[in-house]
Amino acid sequence: MTNLITMQKIIPHLWFDKEAVEAAKFYVSAFPNSRITHKTQIKDTPSGDCDILGFEVMGYSFMAISAGPVFKINPSISFSLNLETKEEVQALWDKLAPGGKALMELGEYPFSPFYGWIQDKYGVSWQLIALGKEAKGRPKVTPALMFTQDKAGKAEEAMNFYSSIFKNSKIGEIFRYTGEEGADEKGTVAHAVFFLAGQEFMALDSAQIHKFQFNEGVSLMVNCKDQAEIDYFWEKLSAVPESEQCGWVKDKYGVSWQIIPENMDELISNDAKVQAMLKMKKIVIKDLEKA
């Protein structure tokens, strides 16, 4: 895990009921330049024995866990696939669509000659877009945060908040609603790009009727080099005390984060250490080392 972590500071984490291994194998087979990087199991958690995997989609790192039906993945955090050609978009759409649901049908839009938004059979949402030559300057995968329900209209505020916390961060282009799109208020974010720890993210507001909002189904893991960094991110991001558990926090916008040490795999290398970790809220490295 250590080599993976040094490459990517923030890693999306997918929560599955029992399908983490199956889903990871599916993504590795569907996407080019993709692989499972590691697999382990932690035993005797409140959800039973949990499979944990690291995998890459087109070189971009993900984590996944099978931990029971407590949380369900939804489209509030999706993943934009920044592709060059229509053929690439079509090929991946054909692999992701079976058993899934189109959220925006594949076709031509004002912002792209070929785009579609699909929720796959495991509940993970992907936005596929043909960018032409612009794709060469973009990462292959970009997480996209959609602010819905009572958080609609908060995207710009959230981007500024996150950018104030992470080093090497900035706000990129912001495209705003004109007030003619229906429910979305003029000036709120139709689409924006921002960077945290040098990694690209997207954000958008949607005041349309949605039955979902941010939850623990998709969280963002922050890999910390030492206890001081864990303490820093914990203090900055945690806004819901009852959500604090095993390194997990929820911020004031409802986004879930996992604040963990870079060498977490080494720190929970035996059952005693795992049990010690499960009793923690904030991860305390020295206590895990003693366990």
Please write the tens of the pLDDT for every residue from 59-105: 999 999 999 999 999 999 999 999 999 999 999 999 999 999 999 99
Does CATH place domain 77-205 in 1.10.3210.10? Answer: no
CA proximity to 281, closest of 225, 236, 231:
231
Distance CA 97, CA 91 (A): 10
CA 78 – CA 100 distance, rounded (Å): 14
The C-alpha angle with vertex 199 and arms to 192 and 148, in degrees rounded to 5, equals: 40
Token digits of residue 7: 């490459």
- Residue 183, pLDDT > 60, answer yes
Where do the structural domains in the chain lie, given as residue ranges?
2-72+215-290, 77-205
- Following DSSP, what letter does each residue of the chain receive, concatenated? -HHHHHH-SEEEEEEESS-HHHHHHHHHHHSSS-EEEEEEEEEEETTEEEEEEEEEETTEEEEEEE--TT----TTEEEEEEESSHHHHHHHHHHH-TT-EEEEEEEEETTEEEEEEEE-TTS-EEEEEE-GGGGGGS-SEEEEEEE-GGGTT-HHHHHHHHHHHSSS-EEEEEEE--S-SSSSPTTSEEEEEEEETTEEEEEEE--S--S----TTEEEEEEESSHHHHHHHHHHH---GGG-BTTEEE-TTS-EEEEEETTHHHHT-SHHHHHHHHT-SS--HHHHHH-
Neighbours of 151 (CB within 10 A): 21
For residue 5 the two structure tokens come to 């972590």
Q: What is the pLDDT of residues 262-277, one digit of tens each?
A: 999 888 888 888 999 9
12 or 137, which is more confident: 12
* pLDDT digit string, tens, across residues 41-68: 888 787 788 999 999 999 999 999 999 9
Whether residue 5 has pLDDT greater than 50: no
CA distance 98 to 116: 14
Contact predicate 7/61, CB 8 Å: yes
The CATH code of the domain at 2-72+215-290 is: 3.10.180.10
Q: Which residue has the tokens 């939804």?
A: 74
> Is pLDDT above 60 for 147?
yes
